[in-house]
Chain A
Amino acid sequence: GAVVSQHPSRVICKSGTSVKIECRSLDFQATTMFWYRQFPKQSLMLMATSNEGSKATYEQGVEKDKFLINHASLTLSTLTVTSAHPEDSSFYICSASRPRLAIGNEQFFGPGTRLTVL
């Protein structure tokens, strides 16, 4: 159990276009999902926390109008990179939080989406 899918796995787009990335928890319901960005040879950087049915909470320095997040159901969150530019090229990873009884929550990660903006 605890499988998270992400689609697409790779996308190449022209500067100025928008790209939507989907994150799905396949076998559990996730009230909270997270979006990360990872630059080459670096650690994961949290971009935003997404809660089902409410507005996302963005980390400091992340442009909420550039990175639109929608968490429409307990199994689906989407990240839309609007008016993408070459500096938005990166590896985007989502995670979904699954509760562990009496212990807390455990995050499970999608396989990531590699975005290249030309």
Chain B
Amino acid sequence: GIQVEQSPPDLILQEGANSTLRCNFSDSVNNLQWFHQNPWGQLINLFYIPSGTKQNGRLSATTVATERYSLLYISSSQTTDSGVYFCAVYQGGSEKLVFGKGTKLTVNP
């Protein structure tokens, strides 16, 4: 099956810093989602981005489907950005999501 790899696995930042999280996938995909899992376990939808670039406040995402990767940018990070960021892809006609292992982000004050 398709492999989804995220990097880096862990990231520690000072408040106010910028960061880029990467998601590589091993095969073509129909769609891709980015999630933030907060410390209480809730997954929050950040982006639904099969291709192109989207922005939402301090967060933006770019997916280059032909090169099989997606990037999540976090600017001016805040302590509330801490948590685990997951990339997940839909492949073929399946409704199933295949998750990466996540990037654990810690933002220190």
A32 interface residue (CB < 8 Å to B): yes
Q: How large is the interface on A (under 10, 10 to 19, 20 to 34, 35 or more residues)?
A: 20 to 34
A77 interface residue (CB < 8 Å to B): no
Q: Mark A33-64, 1 if CB is under 8 A from B, else 0.
A: 01000100011101001000000000000000
A107 interface residue (CB < 8 Å to B): yes
Q: With contacts A93-B41, A109-B43 known, is A104 near B31, CB below 8 A?
A: yes
A103 interface residue (CB < 8 Å to B): yes
**Interfacial residues of chain B within 48-95, with CB under 8 A of chain A in the complex:** 48, 50, 86, 90, 95
Q: With contacts A93-B43, A112-B42 known, is A49 near B96, CB below 8 A?
A: yes
Contact B31 A103 (CB under 8 A): yes
Contact A111 B42 (CB under 8 A): yes
CB distance from A11 to the nearest CB of B (A): 14
Partner of B41, one of A2, A107, A108, A114: A114
B25 interface residue (CB < 8 Å to A): no
Number of interface residues of B (CB under 8 A): 20
Residues of chain A lying within 8 A (CB to CB) of residue B33:
106-107
**Can you add 10 more A-B contacts, CB < 8 Å, to A43-B100, A103-B50?**
A43-B86, A49-B96, A91-B41, A93-B41, A97-B95, A103-B48, A106-B31, A106-B45, A107-B97, A111-B40
Task: Please list the residues of chain A having a beta carbon within 8 angstroms of any beta carbon in chain B.
Answer: 2, 32, 34, 38, 42-44, 46, 49, 91, 93, 95, 97, 100, 103-109, 111-112, 114
- Interchain residue pairs with CB less than 8 A apart (13): A2-B45, A43-B86, A43-B100, A46-B97, A49-B95, A91-B41, A104-B90, A105-B95, A107-B95, A109-B43, A111-B40, A112-B41, A114-B41
